[in-house]
């Protein structure tokens, strides 16, 4: 089960990073302005939440093959993770702020 949680965390991180980079490219910017970050994350989170669930399940099936624990197990884990949308968005905002701050100091 711990391996499943680690894999889900890695898939979420990959998904968020990919969408973040896509947003920057699409909007031709280097970073998301701090004043826009809440709005952007709220919009992207709302638009992509269901796609993220689908992405995690299909990715885990592909990566784990016969070791895949089953949709029921994975969906229950995802229900726990996505239970608090505000906490999820706050976590994403915090991670983006930390990442962008590192970029500005390089």
- Domain span at residue 81 reads 2-11+40-105
Q: Are 24 and 30 in contact (CB under 8 A)?
A: yes
16 located within any domain: no
**Quick check: is 67 in a domain?**
yes
C-alpha to C-alpha distance for 22 and 24, rounded to whole angstroms: 5
Give how many domains the chain has, as a whole number.
1
- Hey, what are 43's tokens? 């919009």
Q: Tell me the pLDDT tens digit for each residue of 39-88.
A: 999 999 999 999 999 999 999 999 999 999 999 999 999 999 999 999 99
Of 8, 20, 18, the residue nearest 96 (C-alpha): 20
Residue 18 lies in a domain: no
pLDDT tens digits for 4-45? 999 999 999 999 999 999 999 999 999 999 999 999 999 999
């Amino acid at each position: 089960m711990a391996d499943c949680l680690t894999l889900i965390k890695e898939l979420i991180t990959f998904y968020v990073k990919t969408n973040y980079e896509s947003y920057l490219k699409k909007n031709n910017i280097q970073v998301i302005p701090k004043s826009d970050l809440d709005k952007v994350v709220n919009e992207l989170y709302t638009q992509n939440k269901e796609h993220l669930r689908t992405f995690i399940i299909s990715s885990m099936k592909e990566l784990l093959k016969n070791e895949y624990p089953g949709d029921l197990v994975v969906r229950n884990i995802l229900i726990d993770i996505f239970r608090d949308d505000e906490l999820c968005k706050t976590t994403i905002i915090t991670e983006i702020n930390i990442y962008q701050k590192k970029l500005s100091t390089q």
